[in-house]
Amino acid sequence: MGLLLFFFLISITFSFLCSIWEAVLLSIPPATVEIKYQEGHTMGKRLKSFKENIDRPLAAILTLNTIAHTAGAIGVGAQGAK
């Protein structure tokens, strides 16, 4: 029972974090990114590169989310079958 809860909680936690990361990435306005970039912040440079090619970070986030769901389903299913 302990491992079942462990797999479930890890899967849900990773899924939650992926959803938060996706929402944050999509909700940052371009003006904010440009201001941070012009101020010379490292995060501004990184955000600008993410926003210029939005498909790449979104694909990474969604891939991690899919892996979390799959691993969670496998772990919970294996423990539930015992």
Which pairs from 22-31 meet CB under 8 Å and 24+ separation?
Answer: 22/58, 22/61, 22/62, 22/65, 25/50, 25/54, 25/57, 25/58, 25/61, 26/54, 26/58
Q: What is the mean pLDDT of the chain?
A: 94
pLDDT at 1 over 90: no
pLDDT at 80 over 90: no
Task: Check: CB of residue 61 under 8 Å from CB of residue 18.
Answer: yes
pLDDT of residue 60: 97
pLDDT tens, residue by residue, 19-47: 999 999 999 999 999 999 999 999 999 99
What is the band of 12 on the pLDDT scale with cuts at 50, 70, 90?
A: very high
pLDDT at 2 over 90: no
